[in-house]
């Protein structure tokens, strides 16, 4: 089999595995994403090796190594080489995909060509051998040069086999900054309902990577119909005219434009992508134009349901929901308001909230944007409050529940009520955060 003589730098475990298998008469190639990333000048996160040996033959070749057999049914033997796990997978042919996700059977083959033919996209269907170079049967290198995502063979068949490939195509295009080839693009739109067969966890994983990609804006805009299959809540926002001089975009475009100018932080981008999702259901119009009363609380309700459905971690659900709820709340740059903000958010999430407000403002119509420069005052006040060790929550209050009980206040709900009252007065500057002063105040009030 002829190959291109490009030289890729293989990690020691990969080169060792290939050499061992070759010495025993078997073929072995680095394959898939590691070859793609190497050709793009990126350091691969994972290295996969495809081999002509059966799992039993592979285990025999590496009988002196620790072997993990969890993937043997599908041809994968994990070998611990040089202290690192390496997956060695037998060339294989997939049976029929009866559930649009998994092959009903897997059979082994001695043909690399057969193995590459079953892969999803041309840029992922290249193999590499140190002596034989690149094996590229489907034009993957040309598509890398053209920055194209193209299905191997018939895209309709590829997506019928595995509906997740639809979202993987969008993810690769977003992360790599590529376009999607015409026939593959057409099939994505035509076959989008296959995503209904995919588990929420896999949807979540691909969607999050897509959202963090360099071309997230283009993909989110061009494939909103596809994303709506598993995010039906975004459909009402697409094309929804805000009827406001403050907005030059429809609701969906506004959210995507905000994503496009944000830092690539997952929580921040999730908030921005959904921050105005409550607008269509809260819209009303009068002589001054369109309005969206209480759209943020409504959006928080919608987002919570979405994130729970896609089985996001509870911490992420809570952070994103709270930030959506408060994304539109004015925050005066005063110590009082910032202390109250610090009661509700970590410093990290306050920084996120400022980034969300910045991006939200930048996605408004020019000439009607609030200045983003004013937002820097809030993190500066947070820093000052921290440096001054100023009190902003009950843990920093100079008195505790036991102190109140000691001066005759009965144990029970009243203790908590009084502590919160003292905290509010300290934050408002009505009382100093001093134990004696606080207890004196309570005694004079009783």
Q: What's the whole-model pTM score?
A: 0.90
Query: Per DSSP, which regions of 152-288 are E strands?
Result: 179-180, 283-286
For 220-251, write each residue's pLDDT tens digit: 999 999 999 999 999 999 999 999 998 999 99
Q: Where are the alpha helices (DSSP H) in 327-412?
A: 335-344, 347-362, 377-387, 401-406
Q: Is the distance from CB of 324 to CB of 275 less than 8 angstroms? A: yes
Comparison of pLDDT for 104 and 388, the residue scoring more: 388
Residue 304 has pLDDT above 90, yes or no: yes
**Residue 1 pLDDT > 60, yes or no?**
no
- In this structure, what is the dihedral angle of CA atoms 257, 263, 269, 272, given to the nearest 10 degrees? -50
Percent of the chain, pLDDT > 90? 86
**Structure confidence by residue, pLDDT tens digits, 195-213:** 999 999 999 999 999 999 9
| Euclidean distance between CA atoms 280 and 104, whole angstroms | 43
Segment 31-89, tens digit of pLDDT: 999 999 999 999 998 999 999 999 999 999 999 999 988 778 888 999 999 888 999 99
Query: What confidence category does residue 4 fall into, taking pLDDT thresholds of 50, 70 and 90?
Result: low
Dist CA 436 CA 415 (whole Å): 17
* Confidence at residue 8, expressed as pLDDT on a 0 to 100 scale: 92
Average confidence score pLDDT of the chain: 93
Task: Map out the domains of the chain with their CATH numbers.
Answer: 12-146 (3.30.460.10), 152-229 (1.10.110.30), 231-387 (1.10.3210), 394-445 (1.10.246.80)
Alpha carbon separation from 46 to 30, 136, 201, 405 (Å, rounded): 10, 20, 21, 60
pLDDT computed for residue 5 by the predictor: 67
Model confidence at 103: pLDDT above 80: no
Q: Quickly state the pLDDT bin for 105 (edges 50, 70, 90).
A: low
Average pLDDT, integer, range 348-355 = 95
40 and 146 Cβ atoms separated by less than 8 Å? no
Give whichever of 93-107, 255-269, 387-401 has the largest mean pLDDT: 255-269
pLDDT number for residue 99: 55
Half-sphere exposure of 154 toward its Cβ, with a 13 Å CA cutoff? 5
| Residue 100 confidence class, pLDDT cut points 50, 70, 90 | low
Enumerate residues 6+ apart whose C-beta is below 8 A from 145. Answer: none
pLDDT tens for each residue of 377-416: 999 999 999 999 999 999 999 999 999 999 999 999 999 9
Helices (H) and strands (E) in the chain, counts: 21, 13
pLDDT given for residue 74 in this prediction: 81
Residues 431-442 have a mean pLDDT of: 94
Residue 225's nearest CA partner among 262, 172, 259, 185 is 185
Q: Is there a contact between 249 and 257 (Cβ–Cβ < 8 Å)?
A: yes
Cβ atoms 70, 78 nearer than 8 A: yes
Task: Determine the Cα–Cα distance for residues 230 and 205; give it in Å rounded to an integer.
Answer: 13
Statement: residue 270 has pLDDT above 70: yes
Is a pLDDT exceeding 80 seen at residue 18?
A: yes
User: What is the share, in percent, of the chain residues with pLDDT greater than 70?
Assistant: 96
C-alpha to C-alpha distance for 404 and 427, rounded to whole angstroms: 19
The winner for highest mean pLDDT among 146-155, 241-250, 435-444 is 146-155
Report the pLDDT averaged over residues 405-433: 93
């Amino acid at each position: 089999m002829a190959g291109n003589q490009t030289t890729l730098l293989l990690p020691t475990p990969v080169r060792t595995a290939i050499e061992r298998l070759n010495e025993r008469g078997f073929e072995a190639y680095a394959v898939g994403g590691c070859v793609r990333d190497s050709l793009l000048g990126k350091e691969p996160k994972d290295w996969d090796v495809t081999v002509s040996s059966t799992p039993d033959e592979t285990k025999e070749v590496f009988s002196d190594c620790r072997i993990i057999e969890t993937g043997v049914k599908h041809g994968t033997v994990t070998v611990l080489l040089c202290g690192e796990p390496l997956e060695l997978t037998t060339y294989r042919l997939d049976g029929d995909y009866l559930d649009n996700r998994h092959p009903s059977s897997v059979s082994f083959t001695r043909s690399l060509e057969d193995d590459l033919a079953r892969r999803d996209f041309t840029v992922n269907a290249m193999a590499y051998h140190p002596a034989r170079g690149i094996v590229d049967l489907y034009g993957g290198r040309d598509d890398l040069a053209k920055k194209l995502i193209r299905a191997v063979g018939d895209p309709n068949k590829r997506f019928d086999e595995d509906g997740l490939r639809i979202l993987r195509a969008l993810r690769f295009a977003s992360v790599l900054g590529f376009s999607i080839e015409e026939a593959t693009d057409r099939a994505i739109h035509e076959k989008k309902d296959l995503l209904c067969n995919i588990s929420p966890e896999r949807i979540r994983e691909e969607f999050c990577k897509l959202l963090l990609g360099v071309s997230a804006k283009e993909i989110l805009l061009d494939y909103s119909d596809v994303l709506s299959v598993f995010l039906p809540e975004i459909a009402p926002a697409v094309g929804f005219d805000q009827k406001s001089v403050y907005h030059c975009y429809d609701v969906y475009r506004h959210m995507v434009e905000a994503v496009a100018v944000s830092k690539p932080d997952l929580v921040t981008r999730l908030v921005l992508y959904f921050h105005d999702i409550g607008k269509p259901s809260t819209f009303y119009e009068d002589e001054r134009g369109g309005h969206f009363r209480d759209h943020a609380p409504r959006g928080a309700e919608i987002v919570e349901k979405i994130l729970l459905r896609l089985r996001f971690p509870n911490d992420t659900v809570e952070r994103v929901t709270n930030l959506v709820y408060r994304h539109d709340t004015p925050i005066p740059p005063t110590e009082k308001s910032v202390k109250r903000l610090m009661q509700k958010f970590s410093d990290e999430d306050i920084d996120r909230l400022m980034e969300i407000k910045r991006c939200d403002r930048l996605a408004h119509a020019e000439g009607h944007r609030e200045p983003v420069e004013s937002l820097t005052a809030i993190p500066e006040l947070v820093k000052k409050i921290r440096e001054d060790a100023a009190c902003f929550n009950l843990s920093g209050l100079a008195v505790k529940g036991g102190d109140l009980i000691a001066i005759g206040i009965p144990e029970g709900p009243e203790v908590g009520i009084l502590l919160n009252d003292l905290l509010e007065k300290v934050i408002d500057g009505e009382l100093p955060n001093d134990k004696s002063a606080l207890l004196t105040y309570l005694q004079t009030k009783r």
